[in-house]
Structure 1
């Protein structure tokens, strides 16, 4: 019981506003579905890495996105200030990546399992963003159509969240090497890469405990 308590109390990543527990990362590493906590931490790390490559990506917390989408579907409200470019979104337990390409002025959908429900969810969100930004700053975004980006498909697996995280890294680094890597890497290998990235980050357990 004491060992179990100590294991549950381990924090493997932490900053001033967010933390990730050891059990969540451990379960993910050994085959469980990716959780929102892991994705939120990974988005923070990818944002920092994009700065190292000369630009910056912006991401929204997945729990905030779910709350916004729920309110939109229930009440149709259009009143929240945002400056976000990348949205790792969840629709009925399926993860996909919605990206606003500022240089092109369009939204793109990265989806490892294309289905009309995810497309519909993305369109609801882009309309909301376009209306909000137009109202707040007078800047027009093209909210439709949402362009589907050709990308690897997950097949008969439950790895959608890992695919979405992988594409987020590709966009954060945006090098020929990382795009080529993403075309061929096995998802179990990327699962390990994702966990190692979190642990070795400046706020991760390995960086803080063993260096």
Structure 2
């Protein structure tokens, strides 16, 4: 049996929080209905599929790179690090890794990038869903830790609400200091 692993990330664009990656190995006849690019699914459907993927997968792993790692490495290399961690966290070693996008992390396993793979290949769609749900759950946690920013609503993206909160309240420890709007807010004043 050939074990193919799908890998995808979530959270490259937000101004705060970690970048997440997931790695999933599904059985050939997995029977999961509705797998698709996580961005095309409702939050409720993603949550339902998250549970089904975790119960059905032969192996799965979710990993992240912290805001500090993002600032030190840059978002691209932090994303690659999260992907490496996700693959390393699998309980089974895959024979091949399929990564959504146009780049692959450095791995000791054959890997290839597939542009729009999260919409084309079910095992990548599954990884997309695990990464997105994990990232959204973190945003909800950040919302209770740092009230006033609206993390549960905008998930850390640079919405008007978030930018206004940054100007008013300053960056938190979970903001990505290397991102321009956060640097600008830090230069203007208050920090947590």
Which TM-score band applies after superposition, normalised by the shorter structure? Answer: under 0.3
Between structures 1 and 2, the one with greater helix share: 1
TM norm structure 1: 0.22
* TM-score where L is the length of structure 2: 0.23
